[in-house]
Amino acid sequence: MIEPQGMQATSLAHEKERALVAWLRERGSVLLGFSGGVDSAYLASVANEALGPDRVLAVIGRSPSYPAEQWRVARDVADQLGLRVAEIDTDEMHDPRYVSNPSNRCYFCKTELWSKLGPVARERGLAVVIDGTNADDIGGHRPGMRAAREHGVRSPLVEVGMTKRDIRERSRARGLPTWSQPSAPCLSSRVQYGLPVTTERLAAVERAERSLRDLGISGDLRVRHHGELARVELSREMLALWLNPLPMRMIIAAVRAAGFPRVTIDLRGFRSGSLNILNEVSAA
């Protein structure tokens, strides 16, 4: 019998999940770098079920680049799953190599994170430190992954070949509230390379994005920080709704109030890694 394509994909994702469970059981216990995003929430759910709550510790790294809203989601998901959670403060904002915002900025941030989580895992007798990197993340511009490798962090979702689509599908099947949540990278990813990352700039981005969400903008949304100028990226559906005179004025007013003198709307809309594309051309 020929199965519809969707069913084949579902069955494949389920198979990968079984491989993930086996992978986790082989390790016995894990410390998970936990952000409350789609990937780490799914991984936490599977790990908690496969190993039991005493053998899983989810650690949230807190810093000004981690949105407060994301922290609330992370805590809610953790409560829902019955996860053991710890929080640590990370100090990347005191590292001038990070603050200067080079294109490999993530390397310095993740180095800071993993160098703090490794000792926590050893102290608590947890076998391995894992993260929520997935198979789609391989090959892109991800300097943070080098830091993970250097610190012996494993990425089980990559190792069993789980893509973002697989993860969303299985998250939905598990009833996780994150299954349809847009990707939420750290706030520093909004700041144009070369423009120093400061707590003020991160706070302005966070205020602007929160205000736009409050207006009713849903789906993918980024406020890119280009100094005095903000460039708002919306999904295609939202562009068609919000590029009309009155809604557009509302966007401009909200983003100005968040601290940007100039407000622009990107006409192509949301693009993952948008600033990498700008940077590549500038570097060339």
Partner 1 sequence: MNVENLERALAEIGLHGIVEVRGSLAVLRMDAEGGLADDELRFRAVDAAERHGFTHLALEVVDDADRAAIHRD
Place of tokens 């430190």: 129
**Closest C-alpha to 184, from 45, 66, 97, 24:** 66
Total residues in contact with partner 1, by rule CB under 8 A: 26
Q: Among 88, 239, 259, 272, which residue interacts with partner 1 (rule: CB under 8 A)?
A: 239
Cβ 196 to partner 1, closest distance in Å?
A: 17
* Cα–Cα distance for residue pair 127/272, rounded to 1 Å: 34
**39-47, 57-65, 121-129, 275-283 -> range binding partner 1 (CB under 8 A):** 275-283
Cα→Cα distances 281→144, 269, 275, Å: 21, 18, 10
* Cα–Cα distance for residue pair 173/280, rounded to 1 Å: 39
* Cα–Cα distance for residue pair 112/50, rounded to 1 Å: 29
Q: Among 22, 86, 229, 257, which residue interacts with partner 1 (rule: CB under 8 A)?
A: 229
Q: Among 41, 184, 191, 263, which residue interacts with partner 1 (rule: CB under 8 A)?
A: 263
Q: According to the binding rule CB under 8 A, does residue 228 interact with partner 1? A: no
CB closer to partner 1 out of 99 and 195: 195
**140-148, 152-160, 166-174, 273-281 -> range binding partner 1 (CB under 8 A):** 273-281
CB closer to partner 1 out of 108 and 242: 242
What SS3 class is residue 186?
Answer: coil
CB burial readout 195-218, b (16+ within 10 A) else e:
eebeeebbebbbbbbbbbeeeebe
Phi, psi of 107 (to 5 degrees): -60, -45
Residues 168-227 that bind partner 1 (CB under 8 A): 226
Cβ 248 to partner 1, closest distance in Å?
A: 5
- Cβ 100 vs Cβ 196: under 8 Å: yes
CB closer to partner 1 out of 127 and 265: 265
Cβ 261 to partner 1, closest distance in Å?
A: 10
**Closest C-alpha to 43, from 143, 159, 124:** 159
Cβ 275 to partner 1, closest distance in Å?
A: 10
Q: Among 179, 250, 266, 273, which residue interacts with partner 1 (rule: CB under 8 A)?
A: 266
Q: According to the binding rule CB under 8 A, does residue 250 interact with partner 1? A: no
Interface with partner 1 (CB under 8 A): 226, 229, 231, 236, 239-245, 248-249, 252, 262-268, 274, 277-278, 281-282
